[in-house]
Amino acid sequence: MLEKIGRIFSVKEIRNKVLFVLGILVIFRIAANVPIPAVNTEELRSFFDSNQLFGMLDLFSGGGLKNISIIMLGVGPYITSSIIMQLMTMIFPQLEQLYKEEGEAGRQKFNMWTRYLAVPLAAMQSFAMISLFKTQGILGDLSHFDYVMVIVTATAGTIFLMWLGELITEKGLGNGVSLIIFAGIVSGLPGAVKQLMLTYDPTMILTYLSFVGISLVTVAAIVFITEGQRDIPVSFARRIRGGRALGGNSSSLPLRVNQAGVIPIIFAMSIMVFPRLTANFFASSSNEVVAKIASKVADIFANQGFYGICYFVLVVMFTYFYTAVTFDPKNVAEGLQRQGGFIPGIRPGVPTMEYLNKVVNRITLFGALFLGLVAVLPYIIQSMTKVSNLTIGGTGILIVVSVVVEIIKQIQAQLVMRDYDQL
């Protein structure tokens, strides 16, 4: 293990990327601890202790929301913007063509529009958050100017995080947005361990051991599913070109069980917090009818059974949706046909596309059900043990493990390329 770490830091290019990412994450953590003015810390602590919804939102902000820092919105608006843009590709063919058929330049333009859309979303979300915090007594009296400045600051914080994420993606390792969420989750571990030690009860030792066992099994299952794939055999026809025989060899097309990665669970979480956040905002309305409806909606989504079912269904739906976005059987089938490749027993063209579509749908079902189970794991455990402060965050574990696995794979690939270059 130490030898592998030493090898990583012995390669200048990889070492610089690792140090660059660590430097960016340090800046992110500093920003997450810079609070906006006029915060009542006692009311803030009480509010978060009694509201699990904002604990989920805090994942997107990397701890910035719990501190009501200048980056309290985190990357949440950007994720919401990504969902909207991906859904719009199904409505507007021009957007789908831009994203799928115009190569890297098209995807860069698509991502640019996603970032632009995130700015007004951040402004609206910050307005809702600040208004809610004022009604809860968390924020003191703010003048109109201070109110606007807090909204501008929170919006600028999201823009700043998007920029940091882009820097990590372009010059570092892994996906920048996922790494920011990852850093926020990991930064909360010391506090969670401290809280566990303060509330330790010797009579619940079996419960603690059960949680450790479930955590280890969950991590192993996530790694297994993340790395799991089905290899489709591909053969290439022999061709004569310039008096030389080309092709005739065999290969394989790997189809991952979890083609969509952690994106579906992040998308679903972003959608699920919206109804309760909106309901909490309108619950203090001066209009009695609006306040009553908002309170009813908040109560419905506070029911863990209803919330868990909706969360599970959304994760499964987004897994299929994002798999369809990232893997197009038609393009793969056409690419194989152009290269003279074919799947044994399957005719090239449309039959190959239909076969790939059937296989992807079949293996995606297993991956989607697994992601859904991991997402609702905390609610299942909480209902079984009646212990909420020890509940394993399935979403957090999934994001942390997936990000670590992806970074390890990137580092291994770069080490292999370096070894080839030295041959």
Q: Domain spanning 12-187: which CATH class is it, in words?
A: mainly alpha
Q: Give the model confidence (pLDDT) of 197-232 as tens digits.
A: 777 677 777 777 877 788 788 888 888 888 888 888
pLDDT score of 241 = 60
CATH fold group of domain 199-423:
Preprotein translocase SecY subunit (1.10.3370)
The confidence score (pLDDT) of residue 391 equals: 46
pLDDT value of position 174: 81
- Show the 3-state SS of 9-43: HHCHHHHHHHHHHHHHHHHHHHHHCCECCCECHHH
pLDDT 10s digits, 2-56: 566 676 777 778 888 888 999 999 999 888 888 877 676 667 767 766 666 666 6
Q: What is the pLDDT of residue 393?
A: 63
In the chain, where does the domain assigned CATH 1.10.3370.10 lie?
A: 12-187, 199-423
- Tens place of pLDDT per residue across the chain (423 aa): 556 667 677 777 888 888 899 999 999 988 888 887 767 666 776 776 666 666 666 766 666 777 788 888 888 888 889 888 888 887 888 887 887 777 778 888 888 899 999 999 999 888 888 877 777 777 777 778 888 888 899 899 999 999 999 999 888 888 888 888 888 888 877 776 777 777 767 777 777 787 778 878 888 888 888 888 888 888 877 665 655 555 557 778 888 888 887 788 878 887 887 777 777 777 777 778 888 888 888 788 777 788 888 889 999 998 998 888 888 888 888 888 887 788 888 888 888 899 999 999 999 998 899 888 888 887 777 777 665 554 456 677 888 888 888 888 888 877 777 766 565
Amino acid identity, position 339? Q
Dihedral sign for Cα atoms in the order 42, 46, 47, 53: positive
> Measured between alpha carbons, how far is 382 from 378 in angstroms, rounded to an integer?
6
In the numeric block, which tokens belong to residue 57?
């939102």
β-partners of residue 245 are 240
Asked whether the whole model's pTM tops 0.85, one would answer no
- pLDDT recorded at residue 92: 83
